[in-house]
């Protein structure tokens, strides 16, 4: 029994979803700004840049990037205030100001050091206010009054703790603990309200309202001080404030008040005390402890929290309903009926009163996927995964029939019938006796019918997301399909059909198409297609808003709506610059609902957004170049002045530029495009990157230009920066003069060495010619010698022949004479014979023949006789004759006639000659002589 009660209690609580539509909140963590958790004070300059007093130092944020400037004495910054382009800060034992340098950075000047001020021991400066050319620095012990004109200080000392200092219009007040509230008048303190008048409560802030002072206390609400009397501020919210521990408080430009609490986030009330807004950590803040609050420009409320920084976009055209617990789920459908807002989600159907303070309640029996909501003929219909529900107040009734109902549409000229598209085709609902009932399924068409539009009362187009578009013809009583055919148009996921301006439109990834009823074909609509196709395509979902006659479409970068042009037939296209990442909707199931005039609800995966079209930003924006630096390949980055053109050495040819637009809206999408005139004259594509790096630039003059775009509003300026990359040293005038001189010298040297070279070549040619002539002469001489040798050889050969002939002649003559002699010896007439023999002997021994032979022999082998005499001095002339004949390779038989001796005598001579020459027995005499 107890468990059933617990379950009933849990169900009751979960069926009521608490929440409110709140302004967008930008959340910045320590990971974003790279400093510590706590942020004690906030201020903003005229350019919109925001400054924070952080535990780690001074934080600066320009909408594009965070920068931290550490406190020089390494202590916690407790206060910050931008006054006349200087950022004044207070910290432990020091206060002073920061100024921008030419590089876009900040440089600190300590007023304590500059003027030799002596603070008290461990003094910290918690607040800084400015009035009439004076700046006041408040610690817990003193107030230092700094005159900007005289550059001197006056000090208001106190023996009691100074809780806080307040500027109310043109008057400065402060509270002494246990003493009261004082006014500073002519540099002196004056007690105006003793502490017992307001029960010694700690005052957080003071405001002038209707000629009275409102005193905001830390833990006892608000007091009203008027005409010397103190009373409790009389309104209902004051009792709630008494239960809060207030740490910070500010007044906004619209007169409302914001209170930052220790543990409950923030509370905003009107000047009359009506609650406007209350946000805590569960409602969207990143922390419940609000250490500081600041009313920035453009309606932004900055909060310095105990753990991070939040920016509440109070003037944003958007408000957010966040379903943090996930009870609602993803919103697929929405509708407003009377004062009730209904949301159809993947968890079921929910409703609430349109009032922002009301809560969403779950409609019983509707748990599950809701696909559509439509109010027709005085009844609210709900297309659901279970079928079709009819809503009566907060009750839902499921009609018996088909499971899975996508969409419902009226049937023209049939007030009692409604056509329903479901998971398995088409079916009919009928009004009977004032009650809607399921009548029948239309036979002959069983395809899923998520979208359909009537061509006429009996013909319609049905879109199947994956199979395409079908033309369906139904009989007159809507009981069966007579015919259906698939049309020749590309199917595509996330496609849809809608009717607009009496035209049926079909949309998919390839574009938007008009249906031509004459030809039963779709024709591409180029104007509408250009809005969603290409890289910007996200979904083909079309939503027709009948009340404003608007057609809504969705792409990656924006939501857009088309409405008839007022001065032409061309439709007017309007944009809501909300990217699909920011709107966080289910792609293909986008949902948008007109709540009131130009106020629209946009369904999301974790709640919804509300946008007020008339508040969309159309104010001009300005882009600024924040920082410029250069570097070379091996050098670290060096900053440049942002307001002066620069001349950079050629080695420093890489430049890095940072730029920004000071916009802090959560749903803004700031984009930039740039170009570098001088090398890249074409503009880049739009990008969210707020910096660019150009590397290895050639020498020349450059102009960097950057534009910004917030949503679809372009900046009213183009930020520029001029710089020059100087020529490298080897291209400078002095180098060129040097090159000219060197070039001329080189030409001279080339001419000189060419001349010298050609002279050498000429000399070489001459020498070559001379050598060739010498060689030619030598060749001629060689040929002459060869010719002489040849002639000599011929002479030798002739002489050899002559010698041989002579030798043979001698041999034959001597043989003849010997034969004659022999025969004569046999003659009988002795006297006659002796005379003849004597004559023959004289011819045989004729020395003139030998001399002739010797001369011929010497002509052929003139050194032989000398060599053999030198080798064998003991040989005789007869031996020489024998040697000569042996040299001619004559046999003993041939030699015998020549010596006029017998053959045997020749052998004897040979033997003797061998002895004289000392030849061995085995050694041939002839071979020896031939080898000499």
Whether 420 contacts 427, CB under 8 Å:
yes
Strands (DSSP E) contained in 218-299 are 222-226, 229-232, 246-251, 257-261, 266-269, 275-279, 290-295
β-bridge partners, 599? 596, 612
Structural domain harbouring 706: 626-729
Residue 18 has pLDDT above 60, yes or no: no
Q: Is residue 801 part of a domain?
A: yes
Total residue length of the chain: 932
- DSSP-derived letter for residue 367 is -
* HSE-up of residue 517 (Cα within 13 Å, Cβ side): 11
Q: Is residue 891 part of a domain?
A: yes
* Unique residue bearing structure tokens 């009275």: 212
Residue 730 has pLDDT above 90, yes or no: no
Sign for the CA dihedral angle at 909, 911, 914, 916 comes to negative
β-bridge partners, 293? 303
> pLDDT tens across 380-430, in order?
999 999 999 999 878 999 998 889 999 999 998 899 999 999 999 999 999
**714 and 737 part of one domain:** no
Q: Give, in order, the Cα–Cα distances in Å from 604 to each of 198, 246, 307, 542, 881.
A: 49, 35, 28, 16, 146
Give exposure, 681-701, as e/b (b: 16+ Cβ within 10 Å).
Answer: eeeeeeeeebebebeebeeee
Q: Give, in order, the Cα–Cα distances in Å from 423 to each of 371, 376, 389, 449, 566.
A: 11, 21, 15, 6, 41
Closest by alpha carbon to 458, among 417, 500, 502, 400?
A: 417
For residue 15, the model assigns a pLDDT of 43
Residue 10 has pLDDT above 50, yes or no: no
Strands (DSSP E) contained in 262-346 are 266-269, 275-279, 290-295, 300-305, 308-313, 318-322, 331-337, 340-345
Listed range (664-678, 686-700, 763-777) with the worst mean pLDDT: 763-777
Pairing label, strands 599-604, 607-612: antiparallel
3-class SS of residue 715: coil
- DSSP-derived letter for residue 443 is B
> pLDDT tens across 20-54, in order?
789 999 999 999 999 999 999 999 999 999 999 99
Residue % of the chain over a pLDDT of 70: 91
Closest by alpha carbon to 310, among 320, 318, 319, 300?
A: 300
Closest by alpha carbon to 514, among 580, 484, 469?
A: 469
Q: Whole-number mean pLDDT of the chain? A: 89
Structure tokens at 924: 């041939």
CA distance 603 to 332: 7
- Please state the rounded mean pLDDT for residues 855-878: 80
CA distance 405 to 370: 9
Cβ contacts of 109 within 8 Å, gap of 6 or more: 96, 97, 98, 99
* CATH number of the domain encompassing residue 648: 2.60.40.10
> pLDDT tens across 463-504, in order?
998 899 999 999 999 999 999 999 999 888 899 999 999 999
**854 and 738 part of one domain:** yes
CA distance 384 to 406: 7
Alpha helices in 257-378 (DSSP H): none
**631 and 692 part of one domain:** yes
β-bridge partners, 312? 25, 301
For residue 743, the model assigns a pLDDT of 85
For residue 808, the model assigns a pLDDT of 59
Whether 295 contacts 664, CB under 8 Å:
no
CA distance 869 to 862: 12
**795 and 768 part of one domain:** yes
* Unique residue bearing structure tokens 């200092």: 165
Provide the CA 232 distance to its chain's centre, in angstroms: 61
Listed range (65-69, 217-221, 926-930) with the worst mean pLDDT: 926-930
Q: Is residue 923 part of a domain?
A: yes
Q: Give, in order, the Cα–Cα distances in Å from 774 to each of 766, 769, 783.
A: 12, 8, 14
Q: Is residue 266 part of a domain?
A: no
CA distance 57 to 42: 12
- DSSP-derived letter for residue 84 is T
Report the run of H or E that residue 912 belongs to, with start and end: helix 903-917
Structure tokens at 395: 């009750």
**773 and 855 part of one domain:** yes
Whether 699 contacts 727, CB under 8 Å:
yes
- Please state the rounded mean pLDDT for residues 70-94: 97
For residue 6, the model assigns a pLDDT of 35
Pairing label, strands 300-305, 308-313: antiparallel
Q: Give, in order, the Cα–Cα distances in Å from 804 to each of 414, 845, 868, 881.
A: 158, 19, 21, 15
CA distance 413 to 56: 74
Residues of the chain by 3-state class (helix, strand, coil), percent to 5: 25, 40, 35
CA distance 97 to 117: 15
* CATH number of the domain encompassing residue 895: 1.10.10.10
Angle (CA) 881 884 888, round 5°: 140
Q: Is residue 680 part of a domain?
A: yes
* HSE-up of residue 184 (Cα within 13 Å, Cβ side): 28
Kindly list the strands in the beta sheet with 638-640, ordered across the sheet, starting from the edge strand earlier in the chain.
638-640, 624-631, 654-660, 691-694
CA distance 414 to 454: 13
Residue 313 has pLDDT above 90, yes or no: yes
**Domain count for the chain:** 4
Whether 273 contacts 282, CB under 8 Å:
no
For residue 14, the model assigns a pLDDT of 40
* CATH number of the domain encompassing residue 345: 2.40.10
* Unique residue bearing structure tokens 């969403």: 360
Backbone angles phi, psi at 575, to 5 degrees: -120, 140
**743 and 826 part of one domain:** yes
The alpha carbon torsion through 448, 453, 454, 459 (nearest 10 deg) reads -40
Q: Is residue 293 part of a domain?
A: no
Rg (CA), the chain: 63
**850 and 908 part of one domain:** no
Pairing label, strands 481-486, 496-500: unpaired
The alpha carbon torsion through 221, 227, 229, 232 (nearest 10 deg) reads -30
Q: Which of the listed residues 398, 420, 435 is the one where a domain comes to its end?
A: 398
> pLDDT tens across 555-593, in order?
999 999 999 887 677 889 999 999 999 999 999 999 999
**757 and 854 part of one domain:** yes
Largest CA distance in the chain: 214
Whether 723 contacts 704, CB under 8 Å:
yes
Residue 325 has pLDDT above 50, yes or no: yes
> pLDDT tens across 242-284, in order?
999 999 999 999 999 999 999 999 999 999 999 999 999 988 9
Residue 215 has pLDDT above 60, yes or no: yes
Whether 821 contacts 834, CB under 8 Å:
no
Structure tokens at 681: 């004259």
Residue 7 has pLDDT above 50, yes or no: no
Q: Which of the listed residues 697, 729, 761 is the one where a domain comes to its end?
A: 729
**749 and 851 part of one domain:** yes
Residue % of the chain over a pLDDT of 90: 64
Whether 616 contacts 602, CB under 8 Å:
no
> pLDDT tens across 348-365, in order?
999 999 876 788 999 999
For residue 916, the model assigns a pLDDT of 83
**684 and 787 part of one domain:** no
DSSP state string for 806-834: HHHHHHHHHHHHHHHHHHHHT-S-HHHHH
Q: Which of the listed residues 859, 881, 906 is the one where a domain comes to its end?
A: 859
**683 and 695 part of one domain:** yes
Closest by alpha carbon to 399, among 364, 433, 430?
A: 430
Cβ contacts of 709 within 8 Å, gap of 6 or more: 670, 671, 672, 673, 686, 715
Provide the CA 421 distance to its chain's centre, in angstroms: 48
Q: Is residue 443 part of a domain?
A: no
3-class SS of residue 686: coil
> pLDDT tens across 692-721, in order?
999 999 999 999 999 999 888 899 999 999
Q: Is residue 548 part of a domain?
A: no
**842 and 865 part of one domain:** no
Cβ contacts of 859 within 8 Å, gap of 6 or more: 796, 799, 803
pLDDT band at 826 (very low <50, low <70, confident <90, very high): low
């Amino acid at each position: 029994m107890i468990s059933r009660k617990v379950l009933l209690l849990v169900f009751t609580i979960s069926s009521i979803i608490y929440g409110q539509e709140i302004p967008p909140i930008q959340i910045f963590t320590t990971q974003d700004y790279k400093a510590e958790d706590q942020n004690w004070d906030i201020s903003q300059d005229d350019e919109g840049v925001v400054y924070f007093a952080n535990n780690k130092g001074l934080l600066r944020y320009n909408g594009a990037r965070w920068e931290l400037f550490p406190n020089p004495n390494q202590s916690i910054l407790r206060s910050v205030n931008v006054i006349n382009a200087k950022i004044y800060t207070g910290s432990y034992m020091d206060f002073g100001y920061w100024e921008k340098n030419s590089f876009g950075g900040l440089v600190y000047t300590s007023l304590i050091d500059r003027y030799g001020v002596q603070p008290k021991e461990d003094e910290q400066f918690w607040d800084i206010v400015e009035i009439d050319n004076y700046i006041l620095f408040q610690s817990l012990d003193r107030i230092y009054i700094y005159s900007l004109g005289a550059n001197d200080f006056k000090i208001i000392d106190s023996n009691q703790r100074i809780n806080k200092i307040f500027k109310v219009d043109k008057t400065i007040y402060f509270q002494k603990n246990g003493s009261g509230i004082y006014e500073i008048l002519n540099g002196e303190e004056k007690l105006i309200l003793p502490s017992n008048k307001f029960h010694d409560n700690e005052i957080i802030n003071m405001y002038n309202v209707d000629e009275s002072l409102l005193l905001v206390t830390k833990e006892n609400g608000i007091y009203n001080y008027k005409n010397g009397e103190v009373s409790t501020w009389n309104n209902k919210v004051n009792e709630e404030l008494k239960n809060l521990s207030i740490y910070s408080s500010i007044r906004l430009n619209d007169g409302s008040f914001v209170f930052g609490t220790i543990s409950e986030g923030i509370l905003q009330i009107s000047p009359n005390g009506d609650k406007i807004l209350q946000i805590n950590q569960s409602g969207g803040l990143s922390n419940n402890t609000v250490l500081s609050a600041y009313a920035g420009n453009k309606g932004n409320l900055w909060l310095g929290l105990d753990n991070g920084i939040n920016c509440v976009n109070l003037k944003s055209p958007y408000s957010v309903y966040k379903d943090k617990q996930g009870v609602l789920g993803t919103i697929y459908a929405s509708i407003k009926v009377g004062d009730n807002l209904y949301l159809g989600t993947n968890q079921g159907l929910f409703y609430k009163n349109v009032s922002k303070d009301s809560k969403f309640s779950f409609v019983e029996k509707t748990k599950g996927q809701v696909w559509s909501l439509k109010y027709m003929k005085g009844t609210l219909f709900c297309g659901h995964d279970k079928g079709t529900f009819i809503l009566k107040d907060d009750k839902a009734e499921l009609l018996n029939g088909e499971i899975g109902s996508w969409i419902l549409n009226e049937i023209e000229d049939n007030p009692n019938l409604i056509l329903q598209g479901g998971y398995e085709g088409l079916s009919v609902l009928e009004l009977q006796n004032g009650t809607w009932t399921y009548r029948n399924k239309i036979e002959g068409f069983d395809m899923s019918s998520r979208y359909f539009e009537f061509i006429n009362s009996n013909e319609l187009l049905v879109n199947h997301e994956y199979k395409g578009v079908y033309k369906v013809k139904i009989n007159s009583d809507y009981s069966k399909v007579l015919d259906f055919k698939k049309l020749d148009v590309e199917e595509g996921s996330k496609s849809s059909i809608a009717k607009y301006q009496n035209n049926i439109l079909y949309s998919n990834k390839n574009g938007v198409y008009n249906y031509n009823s004459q030809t039963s074909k779709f024709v591409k609509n180029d104007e509408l297609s250009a809005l969603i196709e290409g890289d910007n395509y996200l979904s083909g979902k079309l939503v027709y808003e009948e009340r404003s006659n608007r057609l809504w479409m969705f792409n990656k970068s924006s939501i857009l709506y088309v409405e008839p042009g007022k001065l032409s037939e061309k439709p007017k296209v309007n944009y809501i610059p909300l990217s699909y990442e920011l709107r966080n909707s289910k792609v293909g199931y986008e949902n948008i609902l007109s709540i009131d005039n130009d106020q629209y609800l946009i369904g999301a995966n974790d709640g919804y957004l509300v946008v007020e079209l008339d508040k969309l930003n159309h104010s001009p924006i300005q882009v600024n170049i924040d920082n410029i630096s250069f570097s070379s390949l091996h050098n670290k980055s060096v900053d440049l002045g942002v307001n002066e053109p620069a001349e950079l050495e050629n080695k420093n040819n890489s430049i890095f530029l940072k730029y920004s637009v000071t916009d802090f809206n959560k749903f803004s999408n700031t984009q930039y495009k740039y170009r570098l005139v001088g090398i890249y004259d074409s503009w880049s594509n739009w990008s969210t990157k707020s910096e660019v790096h150009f590397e290895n630039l050639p020498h020349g003059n450059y102009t960097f230009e950057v534009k910004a775009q917030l949503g679809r509003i372009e900046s009213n300026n183009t930020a520029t920066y001029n710089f020059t990359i100087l020529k490298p040293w080897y291209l400078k005038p002095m180098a060129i003069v040097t090159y000219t001189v060197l070039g001329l010298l080189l030409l001279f040297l080339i001419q000189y060495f060419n001349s010298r070279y050609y002279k050498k070549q000429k000399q070489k040619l001459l020498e070559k010619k001379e050598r060739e002539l010498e060689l030619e002469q030598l060749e001629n001489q060689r040929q002459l010698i060869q010719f002489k040798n040849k002639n000599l050889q011929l002479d030798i050969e002739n002489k050899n022949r002559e010698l041989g002939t002579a030798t043979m002649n001698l041999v034959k003559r001597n043989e003849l004479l010997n034969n004659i002699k022999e025969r004569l010896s046999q003659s009988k007439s002795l006297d006659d014979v002796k005379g003849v023999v004597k004559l023959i002997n004289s011819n045989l021994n004729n020395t003139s023949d030998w001399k002739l032979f010797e001369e011929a022999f010497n002509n052929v082998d003139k050194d032989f006789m000398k060599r053999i005499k030198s080798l064998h001095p003991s040989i005789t002339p007869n031996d020489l004759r024998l040697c000569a004949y042996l040299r001619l390779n004559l046999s003993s038989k041939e030699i015998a006639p020549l010596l006029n001796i017998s053959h045997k005598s020749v052998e004897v001579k040979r033997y003797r000659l061998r002895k004289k020459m000392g030849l061995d027995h085995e050694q041939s005499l002839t071979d020896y002589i031939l080898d000499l």
